Chain A
Amino acid sequence: MSSRDVILARVRAAVAGSAPVGEAARAYRAPDGGAADLELFAERVRDYRAVVHVVPDDEVPAAVAAALAARGARRVVVPAGLPEEWLAALPGLERLVDDPPLAASALDAADGVLSACAAGVAETGTIVLDAGPGQGRRALTLLPDYHLCVVRAAQVVASVPDAVARLDPVRPLTWISGPSATSDIELNRVEGVHGPRTLEVIVAEPGTRTS
């Protein structure tokens, strides 16, 4: 008998005679599908000590340029499918493109990475990447020490159940809540261990600035 058969037989024997258990009751807030609170999203991302800017759509290029300039980032990883207009204010940027695939050492040496995302979760201040357009394979947003991420308003959902309902489990997913951190030394949260030590987020609201 293979170990597979042994284990399955033990499992069967262990629960034989126990009362059947049906599907779980879900007495908690269901996904509501409505518009999420962008202010709350920004605040919760900031709580993790990430830098957040909320700007109108048409100011994304300027915000990207300003963030990269402030960081002094010149050699930046640009995943395939990133909206070209986000880089409109940066004609001189040295782009690191993952085709052919960049070596890990090249990613490690980059000044940063600019990416899009698949979803944002307001209640927890989380950004989810799914390796889709403007995000690339997972290493691209892992090895550079600086991650600049643009989140569109329509991508932000209210809660974790909303996000789970929206995501496709077949894709590799990375849920990011603030910069890399550890609480292993006397339970103090210290930002910056192995992942990007700085996370900067630009939230793009629909429309143009009215003031």
Chain B
Amino acid sequence: MSGTFLGMPAFPRNAEKALADSQLRFNLRKATHTIRGRRASVVEELPDWQGLRAAGKAIKDDTLRNLERHLLQAERMVTEAGGHVHWAADAEEANRIVADLVRATGQTEVVKVKSMATQEIGLNEALAAEGVTAYETDLAELIVQLGDDWPSHILVPAIHRNRSEIREIFLDHMGEWGRPAPANLTDEPKTLAEAARLHLRERFLSTKVGVSGANFLIAETGTLVVLESEGNGRMCLTLPETLISVVGIEKILPTWRDLEVFLQLLPRSSTGERMNPYTSMWTGAAEGQEFHLVLLDNGRTDVLADEVGRQALRCIRCSACLNVCPVYERVGGHAYGSVYPGPIGAILTPQLRGMGSELDASLPYASSLCGACYDVCPVAIDIPEVLVHLRAKAPHRPAERLGLKAASWVLDRPARLRRVQRLASRFRGLVPKRSLPGPGAAWTQTRDVPSVPEESFRDWWDRTEGGAR
């Protein structure tokens, strides 16, 4: 994955840092709650949402189970329509393919439309090493790029920045990348959007190479589909003479008709709109453009090989699971140390990268297993199920394993819980202020130890008969 994230410390340490940042938590909470409400109201509007969700799941299961056939068909259709298809086994190969294609055009600049896949492979950094500058054109990506920052949300990568921070980033850094921000820039969202429009306009009109990902690739027809809001996607897909799209092999939909499901599921789940402002679809070399499709594996076939974990590949990156996650809301996207944050990141990243590093092995624990993510997921990925499955596979120190066993033993039985609570209350003076020792440490590194009440809730209830006395 992206070099940006190499050497990241483990989730609990990241989370502890993020928890201390109250601005971040405030921005995140406000944003995720807004979008949650919007999603709920447009989902309720559709009488057949659960039917669509079931179909979305079933279509993606077909994609994955019959992936070889669908990939070969997609390749044939794109090629017949005048496009070129390349296969990349890993990030390095994908980056080299794209760099070579750009070099062949003689250009040293490319415009980019937001794409998780190109972030995952660290394409911008790889291109920079070859002397090619990649300009991000999504407003949020622009904020992240100008601020020399990391994305923290799938859909709204700068969700951790508020308007006054964005204004400062624009004033300080736009000039380094092109047209500077107007000196009298305010923090009105409209004015900030206008500054981005002016900053990028000239670039769109003159850049000869565009780089994108895709939301869907239709095997039956070879059609690529990109959903977006601002029109920067249309600019990058339409105006350049050469277009290069880097697409994960799991992005396939078997048939054209399948779009009728996903064009309903995705916008409502992600931005909470009936439809996003713009969706572009093209097949092969559209309108005389030179078109290259780079099909990316980079660990996906490892995920596919795990019968339980495989469902993570159904993900359509809507980000609904992030917005409802109590852990994400408190720690933000950066703590996950990957381009895929939140519940989906907690199951996708360790599978894509393997659980060799401390960070990746800690990700399956970045959840309270509350199940809210599963309920909102438009393709019904059972994230808690995969988390538990990965926890069993993760390399543990024996003490940690013991701690986990002890925890489940306690939480399993209400009577035991009561005994432990009483016990804790008797030893109240012995509980360290900040963190638990031994196996409990991993848990408390990210959470304040709740102060132990003198009397547990259950004891109080029994003694007072529910507060009546």
Q: Which A residues are closer than 8 A to B by beta carbons? A: 2-4, 6-8, 10-15, 18, 20-29, 31, 44, 47-48, 104-105, 108, 121, 123-126, 131, 137-139, 142, 160-161, 164-165, 169-170, 172-188, 190, 192-196
Contacts and interface: CB of A to CB of B under 8 A. Distances in A.
A127 B282 CA distance: 17
Given A28-B52, A137-B287, A142-B235, A44 B295 contact: no
Interface string B139-180: 110010000000000001011001100100000000000000
A169 B189 contact: no
Interface stretch (B224-232, B407-415, B435-443): B224-232
B31 A125 contact: no
B304 A193 contact: no
Contacts of A105: 205
Contacts of A6: 89
A24 B193 contact: no
B315 interface: no
Interface in B249-288: 249, 256-261, 263-264, 271, 273-283, 286-287
Greatest chain B CB density within 10 A among A28, A138, A188 is at: A28
A192 B232 CA distance: 11
13 contacts: A2-B87, A7-B297, A24-B258, A28-B52, A47-B274, A169-B221, A182-B139, A182-B230, A184-B156, A188-B189, A190-B189, A194-B235, A196-B231
B329 to A, nearest CB: 14
Sorting the interface of chain B by its residue count into under 10, 10 to 19, 20 to 34 or 35 or more gives 35 or more
Interface of B: 27, 30-31, 34-35, 47-48, 51-52, 54-55, 58-59, 61-62, 64-68, 71-72, 81, 87-89, 93, 137-140, 143, 156, 158-159, 162-163, 166, 189-190, 192-194, 196-197, 200-201, 204-205, 218, 221, 223, 229-232, 234-235, 238-239, 249, 256-261, 263-264, 271, 273-283, 286-287, 295, 297, 301-302, 304-305, 307
Contacts of B278: 174-177, 180, 195
A176 B193 CA distance: 19
Main secondary structure of the interface of B (DSSP, over half): helix
Contacts of B305: 10, 13-15
A25 B55 contact: yes
Nearest to B257: A164
Given A18-B307, A180-B230, A184-B139, 10 more contacts: A22-B62, A28-B261, A29-B47, A29-B51, A139-B239, A142-B231, A172-B286, A180-B231, A193-B193, A195-B278
B61 A21 contact: yes
Contacts of A181: 229-230, 277
